[in-house]
Amino acid sequence: MQAAIVMRCIGIESTAHTFGAGVVTEKGEILSDVRDVYVSAPGTGIHPREAAEHHSEVAAQIITSALK
C-alpha cells in the first residue's frame, strides 16, 4: 500500500503595514490566515523603520500561529 502524498503551502505577506502568514492545501483550502497590522499614530502615516521593527517583532509569532 502506497502512502498518500499531502501537500501544504505557506504564504508570507509583508506589506507596508501588514505581516501575515497563511497555509493552504493542494486544493486551495485555507487552513490558516494569521496577520498583524502596524498602526501608526493618527495623522502621521506609515514610518518605514517602525513598520519594519513591528514586522520583526511579530514575524515568529505569526508564522508559528499559522503553522499550528
Separation between Cα atoms, residue 40 and residue 29, nearest integer Å: 33
Q: What percent of the chain has pLDDT over 90?
A: 74
**pTM for the whole thing?**
0.82
Tens of pLDDT, residue by residue over 29-52, are 999 999 999 998 898 888 899 999
Q: DSSP characters for 1-68? A: -PPPP--EEEEEEE-SSEEEEEEEETT--EEEEEEEE--PPTTT---HHHHHHHHHHHHHHHHHHHH-
Q: Is the pLDDT of residue 16 over 80?
A: yes
- Per-residue confidence (pLDDT) for residue 41, from 0 to 100: 85
Judge contact between 12 and 20, C-beta under 8 A.
yes
